[in-house]
Structure 1
Amino acid sequence: MKDGKPSGKICPREFFRVSDQVRYLEPFQLRLLEEAFDAWRDAAKRSDSVLGRTRIWTVFQLLRHTGARLGEILSLDDTRCFDPSGPVLLLGRDERKRRVPLSAEVFETVSAILEGPLAARLRGTFLHIDPGYFRRTCYARGKECSLSKDQVGPNALRNTRAVEMLRNGVPITVVRDVLGQSSLDLTAGFQQFSEGDVQSIVNAAHRSMRKQTSARNSFVGHVTDIREDPIMAEVSMSTRTGLELSAVITSDSLHNLDLRKDSPLIATVKAPLVNVLRVDDPPAGSARNRLRATILRVTGSPVLTEVVGRLEDGTEVCALISGQSAKELDLKTGDRVEFWFKALSVVLNTIRT
């Protein structure tokens, strides 16, 4: 929103829906639960009650801010669970070890408790509490907020953290790694889009890419193969929809871009470097990239004509050809054509994440 008007930008995290099978808390519900836990902890009077409630509260904070499993938090040695170099919680064992970043505020709060006099006699085992008692405490705090048991248990807290990260733009693969899940299939249920959502997101991404370059044709994908000699290199790539493209660049450019197999990249081709041929009987040629498409529109003048077509995967391709060539080809909306461009015409750009 800008100056009271829609910005026109589509942000996927703003409107994806969560599977009905996933139990989680919306932000206002999470805030109520946090406030209930804070009030419960602060209401303790006796020293043993203060210690017990603070231990429960600390476990709740780590679950809420990491998305970890309850068993993972309860088994932590609180003298060795934080990375000495920064606010990072170390979870998992052996090959399943992972580092989960914490906000500076949460890290400082939990560290102050663990290093304070309250936890002195329990260092190393401060988080080792009874899981059943923790669950019952969650249920009791949830009841105070009119939340059901399946909304406030450890699994719901884990799901809530996952949804929270996705809505804040964290890539789904990073969410998977933070949660310690073995497969994207397990994470995908948190983030679902309708068919219309998918089309809007992809189209918005294409428009965004075009604003960043003067090239009308942009293709996002990964490197599939590289062939190099002392002077030049041929880079083969596959787009997200399986389209195969080739580019020829200098060896110096290859190394400057630090391209290797599976590197993400964007290939761009300026419209004047793209040829258009009818599919009836296309002549032989040296162009490595040949894309079959359906013409969407033909806009021309006696000198130049713009031809825009749509590939089978929905990608739009644009060519600028002479007005005379367009007249000879007699191009019309709906005609089947091939867009040709040489590998030397392709410009590669790396994607920085």
Structure 2
Amino acid sequence: MTKSLFQPMTLGRLTLKNRIVMPPMTRSRASQPGDVANDLMATYYAQRASAGLIVSEGTQISSMAKGYAWTPGIYTPEHIAGWKKVTDAVHAKGGAIFAQLWHVGRVTHPDNIGGEQPISSSAIKAENVRVFIDNGTDAPGFVDVVEPREMTVGEIKDVVGQYRQAAINAIKAGFDGIELHAANGYLINQFIDSEANSRTDAYGGCLENRLRFLDEVVAAMVEAIGADRVGVRLAPLTTLNGTVDANPQETYTAAAALLNKHNIVYLHIAEVDWDDAPDTPKSFKQALREAYQGVLIYAGRYDGDKAGQAIGEGLADMIGFGRPFVANPDLPARIENGYPLAAHDPETLFGGAEKGLIDYPTYQAETSPECV
């Protein structure tokens, strides 16, 4: 069943060695001050370069886009130079890597954005949402988010420009392309989902208006670096960070059709992945496949057999394995050979240094002792 995962895959101008994706995962190890990618991160990503495609952790496009302590940026020359260490290391191991471009909108705290009030589609606070700040120790300090202010139209245009420049910066840093983070309750999602957007102008109300910001951001990035280097991540059914849509299947099928018009290189669907979460209906997956004709990636609670089945049925072209990649740098080999998977240490996911980031070993098969 897993054989389909190890077929080569064409992704724009790239030929990928398999259909396994390492999706974006926040690890909060960027160098301070300045939120700069570093040698430690280069080692981490290079260890996992056997994935067909790596998508970097969320990377903020401006100082206002930052949601959590110690996450990397992509808006200064120092950021570009730091990420170049990472992309060089991944390419040296034969890997391919896209940068996930990120603006968190309201999912932050003034301590993470220079004391400013967060911005969003609307002045609606994300309820029961906490982010972590630098509290002067190596451990993240969790705090409640605050009420954002509604972005002006001028600010919306400015952020579109920031996304465009971040895409250009990512290519300068050596990334093979970019993934727009339009999922999991962050800024673009705050425009898309009906219950997070109470605007009455051209960016709120009807579905076409709520998709306008996504449309403008993608158009700007496609114009800047080419559609074959632009992917987008959506999370239709999650309610992470307080975003809820009244009719997600209608909304996200329309979003997929919109992205198809831009001819982006892939659409990445994040499924709900907590233990008792419902599966995404097959009919919804079929509707997304019909609406979007490019490379379709799914991530969330997949093992090798389930991933192979999704590809075999034509519902997906590639599959992302998130948390398994944390403790299994050689995850493709483990899936292909049926080796057991190691468990990660949840206490080392965010912040810190080498421990829990680059010290997970590759699998060593036990061998029988030779006779003497």
Identify the TM-score tier after normalising by the shorter chain.
under 0.3
Q: TM-score, normalised by structure 1?
A: 0.23
**Larger relative contact order (Cα-Cα within 8 Å, sequence gap ≥ 6):** 2
Higher helix share: 1
Q: TM-score, normalised by structure 2?
A: 0.22
